[in-house]
Structure 1
């Protein structure tokens, strides 16, 4: 384990092991109160965030909290409760209340815990490097926030920087079940962000840059982030409207992941079981174009969505969601898998006060070979989208629209900035025509390179 730098250490790291006795007691109380099966999760988080403006401290937020959640199952009925009070008396009352609630709940034929044969082995877990022991003090974070603000203001034409922020967070999570699973892990996050403002001919523009990583050493420098925000806003000055029509559109790399997020929502097992997905009934069919691959990998070291097991204690693995354009699987937890007559894909997530949900882990679209500039040359005339706001998606049909700003492309080159535009289409068509560039960055839980999409309707002037 990496040794923390003395000048950045504020206090001892949060302990995973310290949460275990709380869950042991809670599960014991639940069984004594009449629970046939039960599981519980406990979290302990600590965070600091510092914001500056005009080289003065604007805001500082320091928080720490502990929470515990319990799910009990009685005669095919389940209930979930949560509390931030971890005293012995509170845990006992929490367990009794949960069992009383479960007895009054409607029957759920699909609720249940994973059997011992399905559970992950807590003693045989990969080292995913999710926890950086380097801690940050408010003083250090203020210095970093000032550096990112200065870097944004150093870009010629930038008149103001807002939201210059540096943050640090550390947390521990522990999960235990009455079937014998008991383990936890620690995680950390370091962040930097800033918004830059510039004006031209009475018109003001704003843009931003940011980064967030598990480990401090992976975080982009304040200078790079600040300059990035400044350069982006300068590129937007003098923006204008464009005429409506149908154009090819390139979604910039940092926005392209939103299209993959829409796909992930459409293959969520709960949506499929309810019949409210535009991809229902498409398993085994070509959803994307030939050659498109989409991967979900929970075992990426330092990944934003990495985890050693899922929210029901099951072993996780790398999975191919789309292979050569063909849909390979839904995302499933135990409940959705039973409803659909399939096996779980270990995509369960567990919140403090609710039954297991479903989510992807580290999902990404495998990049292509062409640069974004190559795609612009291929498209000839079209639109490069650099900002999106107010997206709307009909989950049943795939109809999609979003307000955007960006750069007009003419003769394969960046021509001028544009704004006040809406683009619309259907995601079934978007997925089929998608062409990936080679500029993917693994800076979030859902990632994609810049994506060229044909034939979207652009509503401008």
Structure 2
């Protein structure tokens, strides 16, 4: 993406101008974020183009803080007169808001310095250069591979290719200025297979990266989706029991999401997390190490600075089973008497809030087949349904499907079961971690075995 927008002004210059205008209007502190993006979405179903969308957007978000009073606004009208009026009105809105002693920009010493060096690998010009015809070809190839993989695959829910090319810029009244380009591309397909009784079984797969070279070949994505659909043909229910449960990498990633959502400063100061009293204590098995790392080159959650301009850094959440701490932005850090971890996320219309970037469950040294081989009876989970997780207590209960394990082998497909436990207990009961680390967007996990969970079925 070009560094200058259609009007001849860059995203960073727009952010800088908004900060200057807000200061001129009386803001004590302020920051502005600008996102200029072009996006596309192509969906092909049964070889025909169902959807082809190309869209562009340009928006600016402004945060004003005066006397602890904060206002956040956004606009897409960036003409000089409109921007001046917008800045003035945002300052006026802050003046009538309730004061908050914890509001404020980051201390200058915390702000990122060498932004360009840490932004390497976030932009791929080949994604920007993809033509609509090339995007359609990729989606068609993916779907065609799914349909050709097995005669029992009789339909699809379509294959979709999405791309995004963006310039992100942030400036604040402490003198911070940072900008970087970022690209992303994702491909997903859902295959539908028919079993002997006429029941439909669905299986999907996807790949999402910042660069075209890392994207899985479309034919491979299609074949994996087809196999996952066919593998569920003839799926059965099982009686309610307590057995070992193995999470394949994609389902293990969901456990990362649950944990990270509970490990934020927001959740801590609101008392809405089961992790509140566990900091510095043993939470999980010594086999478990989980890191949030926004500095991994070229990954989906990588960024040179956070939503407040603070330098990013790796933050261990769990280290050999020990819960190390929470992800913080400046606001939650001040409320808790701590220092930000550089974990602020920021949208155009909302203030910063803490969250994860690249979540990584460190792999072990076991082959996944060895993890399954060690189980006499158990469940291998390949998909999860529902939202049965309570962050305040850690209680976990979700619908699942996968395979029943007997005598160390996958015996038959299983559907319409429920797995339940408590996330703290589940992490403590991890007794095997695979070597097969797999990335899914901004999270990566290996195969993980939990020694015992309740599986509810018949």
Q: Normalised by the shorter chain, which TM-score bucket? A: over 0.9
List per-residue Cα deviations over 1:81-134 (Å, max 9, x = no partner). Answer: 001111112211211121111111111111101122221114663243100011
Q: Describe the shift of the 1:14–1:241 C-alpha distance in structure 2 as closer, same or farther (beyond 3 A).
A: farther
Q: How many positions carry a matched residue from both structures?
A: 450
Residue 108 of structure 2 aligns with which residue? 116
Look up the SS of the partner of 2:108 in the other structure. coil
Residue 135 of structure 2 aligns with which residue? 141
Distance 1:166 1:260 in 2: 26
State which drifts further: 40-49 or 25-34: 25-34
Distance 1:321 1:208 in 2: 30
Q: Is this contact kept in 1: 2:287–2:433, CA < 8 A?
A: no
Distance 2:3 2:133 in 1: 20
Residue 101 of structure 1 aligns with which residue? 93
Q: Is this contact kept in 1: 2:402–2:413, CA < 8 A?
A: yes
List per-residue Cα deviations over 1:150-206 (Å, max 9, x = no partner). Answer: 100111221112221222211111000000001111111122211111111211101
Q: Describe the shift of the 1:189–1:98 C-alpha distance in structure 2 as closer, same or farther (beyond 3 A).
A: same
Residue 245 of structure 1 deviates from its aligned partner by: 1.2
Look up the SS of the partner of 2:39 in the other structure. strand
Residue 457 of structure 1 deviates from its aligned partner by: 1.2
Distance 1:292 1:32 in 2: 51
Q: Is this contact kept in 2: 1:15–1:172, CA < 8 A?
A: no
Residue 368 of structure 1 aligns with which residue? 364
- Equivalent residues in 2 for 1:19-418, closer than 5 Å: 19-122=11-114, 125-134=117-126, 135-156=129-150, 157-200=152-195, 201-418=197-414
Q: Is this contact kept in 2: 1:14–1:171, CA < 8 A?
A: no
Residue 18 of structure 1 deviates from its aligned partner by: 1.0
List per-residue Cα deviations over 1:207-245 (Å, max 9, x = no partner). Answer: 111111111111111111111111111111001111111
Q: CA RMSD in A?
A: 1.4
Q: Is this contact kept in 2: 1:51–1:166, CA < 8 A?
A: yes
State which drifts further: 173-182 or 326-335: 326-335
Look up the SS of the partner of 2:387 in the other structure. strand
Distance 2:403 2:255 in 1: 19
TM-score between both structures, scaled by the size of structure 2:
0.95
Look up the SS of the partner of 2:189 in the other structure. strand
Distance 2:447 2:81 in 1: 54
Residue 450 of structure 2 aligns with which residue? 453
Residue 427 of structure 1 aligns with which residue? 423
Q: Is this contact kept in 2: 1:299–1:306, CA < 8 A?
A: yes
Q: Describe the shift of the 1:437–1:266 C-alpha distance in structure 2 as closer, same or farther (beyond 3 A).
A: same
Look up the SS of the partner of 2:251 in the other structure. helix
Distance 1:14 1:146 in 2: 33
